[in-house]
Structure 1
Amino acid sequence: SPEEFYRSPLLILQAIHPDWQGYFATQWASLLQGEMPPYYEYQIIHPAGGVRWLNQRNVLVRDAEGKPVAIEGIVTDITGRKEAEEETRSAHEGLDAINRIIMACASTLDAEEILNKVMDEALRITGLEGGTICYVTPGQTLHIAAHRATSRATIEDLSTHAIKIGECLCGECARDHKPLILRDREAVLKFSTREATRGEDIRFHAAFPLITGQRCVGVLCIFTRTDKKPAEQSLQLLETVSAQIAMAIDNARLYQKSIQHAIHLEEKVRQRTGELEAKNAELERFNKLFVDREMKMVELKERIKKLEGQVGSGK
């Protein structure tokens, strides 16, 4: 209360939040030198508990010799404003993150490029160091397509052994069509059925199904081997953009199939063209033989006619 500060002007030093002790010490040293900004903004620990933001507007009072002797100020609780600013900042960061992923998905039809961009953005959003993206194959197994900070044992396991839908961390997510968030080592081990995965010291793991229509086309996973945990908002962002990622992957795969189909058709056309050219060459050869035969027949008839004429004239 104001009365408490009147009785003990330095009471504020006891209330300052630990994160702001250094800032306040610097400002206090400047104050003793006669330097003071027009206002401070800092955090305190409220006696009732919780952290509050304060804005302190200042007027430095000096004596006749110009030395600072007192501070006159007005302190305002600005916690509500700071919380609103933080919400606005977080919302802007979230929109920026969503936009980056959408742009990554829309900038190319190369599936590998899309997956690598999405993987990097997912780790950037969450602040974690590791992750994987797996395709769901036509045989309903998972195939690793992109990875970061993943152990060699896990990469080899995912690459050489078919992981079925419903098996291990990613398989559970793909089967249930919903995110699987494992917040500690114990939870990770509970869902880890692969020896390679159990051997990694993963302490947080989140898997997001990539669904378009009613189909799961893949699974995006992020993880950490540290005690760091991502903000809930970052996980919500990944869940929000998972459908966009799924559509981009599906479109890229369809594009690749169309390219392969076009190449196949081009090869078929080339083969058919070669066959037709060979047939035409054969027809031309037979036609030439026929023409030569006809010409010889005409020549033979003319010779016979000439001989008949000679016989008839007695020559």
Structure 2
Amino acid sequence: MAGRSAIAVRGLRKSFGDKVVLDGIDLDIPQGSIYSLLGPNGAGKTTTVQILSTLIRADAGHIRVAGHDLADDPDAVRAAIGVTGQFSAVDNLLTAEENLLLMADLHHLRRPVGRRRAAELLERFDLVEAGRKPVVTYSGGMRRRLDLAMTLVGDPRVIFLDEPTTGLDPRSRRTMWQIIRDLVAGGVTIFLNTQYLEEADQLADRIAVLDHGRLVAEGTAAELKRRVPGGHVSLRFAGAAELATAARNFRDVARDDEALTLQIPNDGSIPALRGLLDRLDAESIKPDALSVHTPDLDDVFLALTGRPGNEKEPLR
């Protein structure tokens, strides 16, 4: 187990009856990073989060969260983590301030400490003006900010976020993304479960794809995209003669005479792009424009699981 791992898992297994949900998965998530677990319905994502957050027991495996052995000291794990579910856990009849003070009481904070913590979080999440209004009057974005603020009352070092921006408008979603980035900049580790592949692409330092209870791929978004065929460089030329000259120098290209473009297979990596540019220069080929097209996470998801990546995860 790595000394600086926020979450370290070896050989995690879980079955429900005769159905194997997790079939020996390994995870190693560094402190102060965002890790996203993707997978189709029934892949085991929710079960993984439930086990890591002490809600259900694993059948086998060695798990450490925030430096604590989950099997030997689950209470220490609970004290070190926060969980923000897909559906808001705030009390609509209370104000934001009252919700935060309630959480402070549940964490056994002394009243002056709890009030100070609540005031800090209201300011941090831009809820000061609305802090004494009933939550029922809040917008979706305000409710999600309050929900995350309540998770932070106990100052967790590891946070499990389940669908943090579901139902939010684009502006609120980007506000939440920035809040998540700020948390990580402060040393918090985020385990992100999201149905939005763009969200994982934007936020996650590393992404794992889970399918049929096994990790089928892991890496940065860029690394995963390079594993999928279909990347290419598109060259646009000023005229048909230039296009024809370029086409004679490349094999296996897609040519569009109307748009005056060539599509040349390329994974978009720096070495591959450098090689293409060197070849263009050597052949004195001067395109008017060059653009790089790489597969997105939807392509990755489909290639690795055989299913589109916009499915919702059921209970398990």
Give the TM-score of the pair, scaled to structure 1: 0.25
Quick check: which has more Rg, 1 or 2?
Answer: 1
Using the size of structure 2 for normalisation, the TM-score is 0.25
More strand by share: 2
- Between Structure 1 and Structure 2, the one with more helix by share is 1
Higher relative contact order (CA 8 A, sep 6+): 2
